[in-house]
Amino acid sequence: MTMDSATERAELTPRQVFSTIVNDTVRNLIVAGVGTLFFWWFSGIWILGAKIGFWMAAAFTALAGVQAFVAALLTVTLNLAGKQRPGEGWMIAANGVQLAGEAAAIVLLLFLRSKIWG
């Protein structure tokens, strides 16, 4: 991080942004995995509550998927519009990590759906 003065915000390098996105994606997948196991277990106690939890998880996954898709689309658009800037490879890799995380979350949702309604 670089600081221009003591009062200005620190600017993250592309590598630090990538690291932050990887950490957030891993944390989100851990939460999704634990939530999947919880709602699978909860479906044996109160099926309606598990179904409500499933639909809430599906809504949050859809919103996160839209955000990841828009970020990837903007990165591709900026790369096509001009020459590649320094550190742009880290941003492309970060988009790939986000999209892979969303794909894994969708797989967890499909697994949960098959256990609740299967």
Give the domain ranges of the chain: 35-117
CA distance 65 to 15: 22
Q: What is the pLDDT of residue 6?
A: 61
Q: What is the pLDDT of residue 19?
A: 96
Angstrom distances, CA of residue 72 to CA of 11, 29, 97: 21, 19, 10
Distance of CA 22 to the CA centre of its chain: 9
Q: What is the pLDDT of residue 10?
A: 79
| pLDDT under 70: residue ranges of the chain | 1-7
CB-based burial, 2-24: b 16+ in 10 Å, e otherwise: eeeeeeeeeeeebeeebeebeee
Q: What is the pLDDT of residue 116?
A: 95
Q: What is the pLDDT of residue 7?
A: 65
